[in-house]
Structure 1
Amino acid sequence: MQSCRLPTGVYRCGPAPVTAIKRGELGIMQCDLPFVLAEVNADVIRCVKLSSTKWEKLDVDTSRVGKNICTKEPDGTLEERLAVQNAGKASKKVRQIDEAEHMETFKFTLKPDDYLDHLTEQYMMNITATAQVKETGKVHIKEEDYRLRRPDIEVEAPKSGKRYKPFEINVSMKNPLSKPMTKCVVHVEANGNVEEKISDIAANSTWKHSITIKANRSGRITMNVTLDCQEIKDVTGYANVEIEP
């Protein structure tokens, strides 16, 4: 089997038995199974360029390639490990020595101003740590993903109310930032929607606000309160009220 390039610029490979690839059986003649096996079990390697001619390997991701294809077993399963071991019987053996003798922990403090403007919509944060060995120039990298927790809105509401009769709910939230929260809008979703623009919330202060609600149906209603500000969005809270006819 050889890969060929079509006039459209797309590469195509085959034939190669799917079962043989999944089992790591590379001895079938007239099929370039090692090439396909290497493709579906490839690793993603990130490197950094140290000079015009020298590159240094940073890290290796062994599970990114081949997650949704039928020519390999799921990563981490016994079948996947056995297939790779079976394919490796004819390969050259190498010896790798890891002489880690010392571990040291470093602590860094990230302030809100350092990351607030760089967060994704779901408040995800990717932290990457890079270390370089001074004597050898070797670079090591490690990264982790985190999701930050938004503050909560406290919602105080009466246990019951009358249909078509207005009642008040009180909402509050502590601003966790060392700067004001600006351009704020509060939304209330019940059996109708209420939206109000509010003034800025001072740094490290507790915001309190009263909202008038009028239910147009009886039964139990859930009031979902959302606060959107320029600095922090989708701060939520809720309360239930039983509405009598």
Structure 2
Amino acid sequence: PQENSDGMYRCGPASVQAIKHGHVCFQFDAPFVFAEVNSDLIYITAKKDGTHVVENVDATHIGKLIVTKQIGGDGMMDITDTYKFQEGQEEERLALETALMYGAKKPLNTEGVMISR
């Protein structure tokens, strides 16, 4: 989890290859960083009777662009492909299945819900 250090939030260490391949079994922040780049944005409505209904799932919003400071300059460098496979690729599905195998939280039941991809 992130901690404030000199006014900036930081996390780690976490193996970049472990994050990309869903190996959330490694120590330190691997599970946290995997979730940071692979989560879905879930819209839930709370009903008056105390139940909750999943209204929409956006699987494209989080982890769409991961950047770092460009080496030797002040610009941004896109490192998204370093941390995750492209949406819809077989490798992405395998990485998510691997994370689930190692105990990552299972997805919500979204049967009948429109999922943005």
Q: Give the TM bin, normalised by the shorter chain.
A: 0.5 to 0.7
C-alpha distance after superposition, 1:151-198 (max 9, x if no partner): xxxxxxxxxxxxxxxxxxxxxxxxxxxxxxxxxxxxxxxxxxxxxxxx
Corresponding position of 1:61: 58
Q: CA RMSD in A?
A: 3.2
- The TM-score with structure 2 as length reference comes to 0.64
Count of aligned positions? 98
Corresponding position of 1:32: 29
Corresponding position of 2:70: none
C-alpha distance after superposition, 1:74-113 (max 9, x if no partner): 111111111111222133879x6x6xxxxxxxxxxxxxxx
**How far is the alpha carbon of 1:37 from its aligned partner?**
0.8
C-alpha contact (below 8 Å) 1:5/1:12 kept by paired residues: yes
Post-superposition, which runs of at least 4 consecutive aligned residues in structure 1 deviate over 6 A? none
Q: How does 1:83-98 map to 2 (within 5 A)?
A: 83-91=95-103
C-alpha contact (below 8 Å) 1:45/1:59 kept by paired residues: yes
Find 2:11's aligned residue among 6, 10, 13.
13
Q: Secondary structure at the match of 1:60?
A: strand
Corresponding position of 1:4: 3
Matched AA of 2:38: N
Corresponding position of 2:76: none
**How far is the alpha carbon of 1:33 from its aligned partner?**
0.7
Instruction: State the alpha-carbon separation in 2 of the partners of residues 142 and 57 from structure 1.
Output: 10
Corresponding position of 1:74: 86
Greater RCO (CA < 8 Å, at least 6 residues apart): 2
Unaligned runs of 5+ in 1: 99-139, 145-245
Matched AA of 1:62: A
C-alpha contact (below 8 Å) 1:67/1:74 kept by paired residues: no
Unaligned runs of 5+ in 2: 67-79
Q: Secondary structure at the match of 2:54?
A: strand
Corresponding position of 2:73: none
Matched AA of 2:65: N
Corresponding position of 1:44: 41
Matched AA of 1:56: V
Q: Taking structure 1 as reference, are residues 5 and 54 closer, same or farther at Cα in structure 2, changes over 3 Å only?
A: farther
Instruction: State the alpha-carbon separation in 1 of the partners of residues 55 and 61 from structure 2.
Output: 16
> By percentage of residues, which structure has more helix?
2
